[in-house]
Amino acid sequence: MSDTQGKSVLVQGRIVWTSGDLFKGRLKTEFGSNIPKLNKQGEQQKEFGFGLAVPKAALAQMEAGQPGEIWAAMHNEAYTLYPSRQLPPAFAMKYKDGDGIDDKGQPFNKREGYAGHIVLALTTTLPIKFFRFDSAAGQNVQINEGIKCGDYVNCQVFVKAHGAIGQGKPGLYLNPMAVQFIGYGAEIINAPSGDQMFGNQAPALPQGASATPLAPQPGQMLVPQPGQMPAQAMAPNYGVLPQQFQPAPMPAQHPQAIPAMPQTHAFNQPPASPQGFPIPR
């Protein structure tokens, strides 16, 4: 057995998952750990890729240029390593049956875009080129944004079998070389649902917990909730001290009689100032 030369095939489908950022990729680690996976230059490797859902109905059209050509290319590549057409169970075909069961026993068809499709795992360590057809210019222009998980694309895929004796686990390489945007689809968020994380049954209440809110108990300090501040806090009376901090009232005081000024004679009076002139100081 020996590796083949591979084949480049155009395939159309919908993106249903991504390996990190669709355009920037993600840093790779050793399987099952957080240890960086390094390339020959000692740099941490990056992986670019996505899952492409292809309708099963298209797989029957396997002639060159037809929608199912990818299906024929995948099997023909695998059979070059196994002319008997008996593939070992561990052979990695790099796809999932959208109507099958995952490794946790959950049906794939509960995932958006999986039912009635095969989902190809298209990955590479090289940046992928993305294009959009510009009708005004009449040509494809390269882009670095504007495609999301859930959109529909054409993809040029390089299919190659690997796994000659002594060269590791046998399987296929499905390397995406270039992607062309076709149309928008509902966005798919690659995050586990609440049911996947917590199950689909109501949780049992632990001791001390209640399924309904509890009334405050005597002596319990009430903490106002946001938007429910007490009236005095909502309408403060600035400048008025609380009763306990107000000063004690001063004792009443009786007004004292003002002593009469002694009468003065006319010659002790200051002279009247002529009109329009200031009084000298």
pLDDT of 270 reads 42
CA distance 4 to 216: 75
Nearest to 155 by CA among 115, 198, 124, 189: 124
Q: For 135-221, list the strands marked E by DSSP.
A: 139-143, 152-162, 171-183
Q: Burial, 139: exposed, middle or buried (Cβ in 10 Å; 0-12, 13-18, 19+)? A: exposed
Looking at the domain that runs over 7-191, which CATH code has it been given? 2.40.50.140
Which ranges of the chain have pLDDT less than 70? 1-3, 164-167, 191-197, 219-281
pLDDT of 266 reads 41
The model's pTM is 0.67
pLDDT of 121 reads 98
pLDDT of 251 reads 60
